[in-house]
C-alpha cells in the first residue's frame, strides 16, 4: 500500500506508523518486517520542511539509523520533491538492511504502533 493509505489504516486503529524511541526498539520491531522487502515508517520530509519529521516526538536520531549511504544526509539518501517518505529495507543479512527516501506512492508494507509494547504489521 502507499504511504498515505498505510498512515490512514494505522490512524483508524488508534496508532501511527512505527516511530522508534531507541535503537534497541528499532532493531527489535524491524526484525518483524518482511524479509527482502520495504516497510513504511513514520518519517517524512515534505517540500516545506527543512529536515525530516517523525510522526511522534521523542524519536531516535536519524544519524543512528542505518541509511543506504553514510554519513546520513537526506539528499544522498533519496530525498527529492518526488521522494519524500522514508522506508526501511529489511535484508536477510542485517548489515544490508537500510533506510532510504522513496516516492510516497510506492506499494510497501507498513508497521503500526500504538505504544512500544503493541506493534503489528499491515
Span of 27-31, 63-67, 88-92 with lowest mean pLDDT: 27-31
Buried (b) or exposed (e) across 40-67, using 16+ Cβ within 10 A? Answer: bbbbbbeeeeeebebbeeebbebeebbb
**What is residue 71's predicted lDDT score, i.e. its pLDDT?**
83
CATH number for the 3-116 domain, one of 1.20.120.1200, 3.10.100.10, 2.30.30.100, 2.70.98.60? 3.10.100.10
What is the C-alpha separation between 63 and 52, in angstroms, rounded? 12
Cell of 4: 498515505
What is the C-alpha separation between 24 and 93, in angstroms, rounded? 18
Cell 522506508 appears where?
Answer: 87
Q: What global pTM score does this model have?
A: 0.88
Model pLDDT for residues 99-121, shown as the tens digit of each residue: 999 999 999 999 999 865 445 55
Model pLDDT for residues 4-35, shown as the tens digit of each residue: 999 999 999 999 999 999 999 999 998 889 99
Amino acid at each position: 500500500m502507499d504511504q498515505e493509505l498505510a498512515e490512514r489504516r494505522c490512524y483508524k486503529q488508534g496508532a501511527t506508523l512505527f516511530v522508534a524511541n531507541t535503537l534497541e526498539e528499532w532493531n527489535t520491531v524491524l526484525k518483524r518486517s518482511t524479509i527482502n522487502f520495504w516497510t513504511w515508517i513514520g518519517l517524512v520530509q515534505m517540500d516545506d520542511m527543512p529536515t525530516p519529521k517523525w510522526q511522534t516526538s521523542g524519536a531516535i536520531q536519524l544519524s543512528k539509523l542505518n541509511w543506504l549511504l553514510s554519513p546520513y544526509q537526506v539528499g544522498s539518501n533519496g530525498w527529492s520533491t518526488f521522494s519524500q517518505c522514508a522506508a526501511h529495507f529489511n535484508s536477510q543479512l542485517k548489515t544490508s538492511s537500510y533506510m532510504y527516501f522513496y516516492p510516497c506512492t510506492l506499494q510497501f508494507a507498513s508497521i503500526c504502533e500504538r505504544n512500544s509494547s503493541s506493534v503489528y504489521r499491515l
